[in-house]
Each structure stands twice: as structure tokens, then as C-alpha cells.
Amino acid sequence: MSALAKPLSTPPSPAPQSEWNVEAVRVDFPILSTRVYNRPLIYFDNAATTQKPLVVVDAISNYYLYGNANIHRGVHYLSEKATDAFETVRHQVQTFIGARSANEIVFVRGATEGLNLLAATLGRTRVKSGDEILISIMEHHSNIVPWQLLCEQTGARLVVIPMHANGELDQAAFEKLLTPRTRILALTHVSNSIGSINPVKHMIQLAHRQNTVVILDAAQSVAHMPIDVQDLDCDFMVLSGHKLYGPTGIGMLYGKGSLLDSLPPYQSGGDMISSVRIEKSTFHKAPQKFEAGTPHIAGVLGLGAALDYLTRLGMAAIATYENSLLAYATQVLTGIPHLRIIGQAREKSGIISFTIDDVHPHDIGTILDRSGIAIRAGHHCTMPLWESLGIVATARVSLGLYNTPGEIDHLAETLNGVRKVMGL
Amino acid sequence: MNELRELYQEMILDHNKQPRNFYALPGATHVLEGYNPLCGDKLKLYLQVENGSVRDISFEGSGCAISKASASMMTDAIKGQSVEAALALFEQFHAMLSGKADAAPESLGKLKVFSGVNEFPARVKCATLAWHTLKSGLVGAHGSVTTEDEG
């Protein structure tokens, strides 16, 4: 442990000691052995995107090198193999999130596209003037703007669940805001900005009493804790592959079978139709109904490799390790003079947003960067959240399964010197 | 860490801590808003332009050290200058930060302390926000500008 992480109000607890073999895990990620500005890379920007293990990159390159063919249409060997591999990943996703059927899994570009798909299709069929759509103040812009646009189009009203100063949603306010007019509740599982884990299971139960359709944004949670959609009972859920150690450009939309089937198509074209006549076309059932055009096959295969990888490590073990890292990082950062952690929910995932007195987060980001430490500085695509707290921007450290206590010590050491660099 | 010292020079840190002309200017003929959507930083620039000269100038807003110091030093450099001279200074400053100029011209004076920003591509927009806002005011485009307007 670095002696430079002092002064601390209390001595840090011992670094996380568990059966988690972080050094073995790190070997799986070639990028972690690279250097930036001639310093070892320390990657704390996992909420923006996670790094990729070699198995993911191999799955993508093997497909292009040895397995490339289009799916769902060929009668030849390669096409059948590619179709099999592609559909196997759908079953993997089903198992990973605990869905009833693989037909409940739609491949999309990412959580953003999943939410846009739902705003467009649910919007067309279930939302009318006077209805209400309920979101929370801590949503990512991707779970705000599609609903804003839908409200403009339909005359529905966007209603927002406020937050307590500690970063927990105001449950009493939520219960008041939930009414028979609430058509949709679109809610994040974990805040990408301050790490709060929302009590979504309970909130979903309450919403269902009002016949409200619940959409869960799990982009920030799924790589860091076990998730079971049947246990949570959400109606829809969206994910991004690149935040769970998979490739960019691929994500998933989960929907309960009957609900998915009731939705109209989103994009249309090849692969989603059963027959096309000039007078009228008929469509496949879900999930194919929502997968127009040749999909990101390589991305799906890379995603499958990422899910394999996470399953092998075990989501419960990952959560345990990351929780111990979060506790350690919180303790170390709390001891740094002039540093203030924003968001202290009782249930938190591995995200720490903070400010340092008289230093702008962008300057913190630049100083850390030159020490080889990658963090995010800014509004993290949650501007309404910061406005509600009266803050313009924060610096954000977000943890992943390959981060180490030693990296946190180095972070603390550098943060201790930030005010000096700024002449304070 | 030497590049950090190049970036955060004494003069920049001083202007960050004690920005000059940091208030709302009564009697301003132009009030402009600059916005950097990347970080959410906002800047309000006040100009008093009379007879083709910037008689007075001030600013308000929140921002990182680079954007605040840049705005502060810009107001010092522009105050009392003709509109033409101010626009010429914009061009020189912009060229220095975009690496188009081989060397920063002497006419930039103290503003040369920002030459180190060139090495920090992510921060160039912080240094130019105030200047883009100024330019939009001087060429007559009122309202809000963002750092995304220009490549």
C-alpha cells in the first residue's frame, strides 16, 4: 500500500483479499499491460465503456477470418454455421438474464437503440394525450430524450421522480407520482453518474399495481451484479454490450413475450418479414420482427464470448470483488482533503463521482491522465441530475473487475497532489 | 509531469484564481453566451463596442482553469482594441492553438502562455471558448455559440 495515500483520517482497511485472482484476470485484457505517457495504464472509466478480453476479440476476428456468412438465408455450410452461432448467443443472453425464452431477446445496437425502439413502438400503441411517462431525475440522457420526443408527439406528460441529496430516489414522491395515468415507468437500475442502485424490484411491483409498463435500463448494472428479469419482473430491459466487456455497436432488448408480440415493427426491411407483396407485407414474430436488415453478426458473437467470460468468472464473485474495491476506494478517497464524494446511497455499485474544492473536474481529469489514469470528467450524460444537485460537473471513477487496490492507491496519491498542481 | 507545468503555467493559475474583469458589465452593447457541451461549461461575455472599438469587456461563468484563465486574459488583451485588431488577435490565437502557426507571434504577448494547450487536444476547446464567443459578438452574430460550431 502506498504511504503517499496519506493523510487519512482513519487508517485504510486492508485491501480486498478474496479468492478473486485479479492478476490472472488482468492477463485476459491485453490493453491493461499497455502504457500511456510512459506510465502503466490505470483504467477507471468502465462506466463509459469496459475493456475487452482477448476471447471477445478472438470471437470477432475468427468469425471474419473463418466463419463469415450472412445468417437466416443461406443454404450453404457457412451460413448455417453462422446462423447457429448467432442464435446460440440469443440463448446465452436468455440464460444470462434469466428470461423465459430466447424469443424474448432482441438484438439492437445498444441500450440507446433499445429505448428508442420502445419509445417508438410503445408510444405508437399505448401512449396518448393526457397520459404520463414516469422517469427518474438520475436517468442517462438516452432514457430522457426519447420520452421527451414521444411526449411532444403525443401530448403525454413527462413526470420525474426526484432524488434525496444522498443519491437515493425519493420513494415517497415516487408513490405519489405513480397514478393510473402512468403508462410507462422507464427507470435506471444503477446510476451511471453516482452509482446508486435503485430498489427496482419494489418499484416494479408498485408500478404493476397501476398497470404501468416498466422498462429497466440495465446498461450500468448488468456487468457488475447478477440480474434475473423474471425475479425483477420488469416488462422490458435494455443493455449495451460494450459496457459488459463486449464489443461496441451491439446491445439487447428484453421484453416479456406477450408484450413484445403486441408491439408493431420498429425498423423494417429484410429479415423481419415473412412475406412481401406490393399491396401488403406480413412480419415475422418477435424477435425477428425487430431485427430488420443484416445484423451486427460479429458483434453478437463477440457479445456471446463476453457473456461466456463473465459466466465463467461468476457474476456473484464479480459483484463481491467490486464491492470490496468500492468500499476501499470510498474509504481512501474520503480521507483526501478538499475532496467531496457526490452520491452516498446506501446501496451503491462501483462508481464514485467527486469534486475537489476550487478545481474544475476537467483539470482533475487532465492531471490524472498524465499519470496514466483514465477517468471521466463532465456531466456523464446526466445533466438534469447535476442541475438538481446544483453541480455543473464531477470527476468520476468507475470500477471494473480488473481494477486493483494498488491502482486505487495510485489514484489517491495523484489526487492528493491535484491542488498543488493548480497552485492552491 | 513537465507537460502539466507547460499547461498550468503560473500566469494561467493566477488568472484562474483571480479572474480579471469578472462581473456583469453595466451598459454592455453586446451580451453573448458561450457553451461547451462536452463539459457543460457556460460563459457570458459582455462587450461595450463604440465607434469600432471594444471600449469595455467583462465576463462571468464557470469553467475549468484553462477556460477561465483564457477568458480572463482575453478581456485584458481586448479592452480598448479596435474590432479589427481584436479579430486579428482571434485569428492568431486560434492558429497557435490549432497548431497551424509554426511559432506564436510576438503580437500575442502574454497570450503565448496558452501555447502549451496545443499538446492537450481535449483541452483546446476550453481555451478557445471565450474567443469564439467574442468573435461571434464582433461579427454581429448574437445569441449563443458552442464550441461545436467550428472544427
A241-256 per-position pLDDT tens digit: 999 999 999 999 999 9
Query: Of A312, A335, A363, which residue is a domain's last?
Result: A312
Q: How far apart are CA A157 and CA A150, in angstroms?
A: 9
Residues of B in contact with A367 (CB under 8 A): 4
- The CATH code of the domain that includes A228 is 3.40.640.10
Q: What is the mean pLDDT of residues A284-297?
A: 93
User: Is residue A109 pLDDT above 50, yes or no?
Assistant: yes
Q: Across the interface, do B40 and A393 touch by the CB < 8 Å criterion?
A: yes
Question: CB contact, 8 Å: A39 with chain B?
Answer: no
Residues of B in contact with A366 (CB under 8 A): 4, 7, 120, 122-123
Question: CB contact, 8 Å: B37 with chain A?
Answer: no
Q: Is the ipTM of this complex over 0.85?
A: yes
Please tell me whether residues A289 and A398 are part of one structural domain. Answer: no
Query: Of A297, A312, A327, which residue is a domain's last?
Result: A312
Chain center to CA of A154 = 28
**At A270, which amino acid appears?**
G
Q: Could you tell me if A298 and A274 are in contact, meaning their C-beta atoms sit under 8 angstroms apart?
A: no
- Comparing A378 with B149, the larger pLDDT belongs to A378
Q: What is the mean pLDDT of residues A123-137?
A: 95
User: Is residue A100 pLDDT above 80, yes or no?
Assistant: yes
Element spanning B34, H or E: strand B30-36
CATH level 2 (architecture), domain B2-149: Alpha-Beta Complex (3.90)
How many CA atoms lie within 13 Å of A307's alpha carbon, on the beta-carbon side? 25
Residue of chain A whose Cα is closest to the Cα of B5: A421
Element spanning A299, H or E: helix A297-313
Q: For chain B, which ranges sit under pLDDT 70?
A: 1, 101-102, 140-151
Q: Who contacts A182 (Cβ-Cβ below 8 Å, separation ≥6)?
A: A131, A132, A133, A134, A159, A207, A210, A212
pLDDT of residue A295: 95
Could you count the other beta carbons within 10 Å of the beta carbon of residue B150? Answer: 12
Q: What is the mean pLDDT of residues A262-285?
A: 89
Please tell me whether residues A370 and A410 are part of one structural domain. Answer: yes
Please tell me whether residues A94 and A197 are part of one structural domain. Answer: yes
Query: Lowest mean pLDDT: which of A81-90, A159-168, A398-407, B120-129?
Result: B120-129
pLDDT of residue A11: 47
Please tell me whether residues A129 and A191 are part of one structural domain. Answer: yes
The answer to the question of residue A15 being in a domain is no
User: Is residue A7 pLDDT above 70, yes or no?
Assistant: no
pLDDT of residue B34: 92
The answer to the question of residue A393 being in a domain is yes
Q: Of B40, B41, B120, which is closest to A366 when you measure between CB atoms?
A: B120
Q: Who contacts A353 (Cβ-Cβ below 8 Å, separation ≥6)?
A: A193, A194, A195, A341, A342, A343, A380, A394, A395, A396
Please tell me whether residues A232 and A87 are part of one structural domain. Answer: yes
Work out how many domains chain A is built from and give that number. 2
pLDDT of residue A345: 97
Please tell me whether residues A230 and A329 are part of one structural domain. Answer: no
The answer to the question of residue A6 being in a domain is no
pLDDT of residue B105: 81
Phi, psi of B41 (to 5 degrees): -70, 140
The answer to the question of residue A355 being in a domain is yes
pLDDT of residue B9: 92
Query: Of A271, A291, A312, which residue is a domain's last?
Result: A312
Q: What is the mean pLDDT of residues A284-304?
A: 95
pLDDT of residue B148: 52
Catalytic status, residue A151? no
Question: CB contact, 8 Å: A417 with chain B?
Answer: no
Q: What is the mean pLDDT of residues A257-268?
A: 94
The answer to the question of residue A32 being in a domain is yes
Please tell me whether residues A43 and A93 are part of one structural domain. Answer: no
Query: For chain A, what percent of residues have pLDDT higher than 90?
Result: 87
Q: Which of A38, A353, A363 to mutate to test the interface with B (most CBs of B within 10 A)?
A: A363
Please tell me whether residues A128 and A215 are part of one structural domain. Answer: yes
Please tell me whether residues A48 and A63 are part of one structural domain. Answer: no
pLDDT of residue B37: 77
Please tell me whether residues A137 and A223 are part of one structural domain. Answer: yes
Domain of A204 in residue numbering reads as 56-312
Please tell me whether residues A66 and A42 are part of one structural domain. Answer: no
pLDDT of residue B84: 93
Residues of B in contact with A410 (CB under 8 A): none
pLDDT range class, residue A18, cuts 50, 70, 90 = low
User: Is residue A16 pLDDT above 80, yes or no?
Assistant: no
The answer to the question of residue A14 being in a domain is no
Q: What is the mean pLDDT of residues A367-384?
A: 93
Q: Of A366, A383, A423, which is closest to B40 when you measure between CB atoms?
A: A383
pLDDT of residue B147: 57
How many CA atoms lie within 13 Å of A207's alpha carbon, on the beta-carbon side? 28
pLDDT range class, residue A82, cuts 50, 70, 90 = very high
The answer to the question of residue A10 being in a domain is no
User: Is residue A73 pLDDT above 90, yes or no?
Assistant: no
- Comparing A6 with B64, the larger pLDDT belongs to B64
Q: How far apart are CA A73 and CA A66, in angstroms?
A: 18
Q: Across the interface, do A362 and B64 touch by the CB < 8 Å criterion?
A: yes
- Cα dihedral value B103, B107, B112, B115, nearest 10: -30
Q: Of B17, B38, B123, which is closest to A423 when you measure between CB atoms?
A: B17
- Cα dihedral value B100, B106, B110, B113, nearest 10: 40
pLDDT of residue B69: 96
pLDDT of residue A2: 42
Q: Which of A1, A57, A381, A422 is catalytic?
A: A381
Residue of chain B whose Cα is closest to the Cα of A370: B1
The answer to the question of residue A294 being in a domain is yes
pLDDT of residue A15: 53
**Average pLDDT across chain A, whole number:** 94
Please tell me whether residues A48 and A61 are part of one structural domain. Answer: no
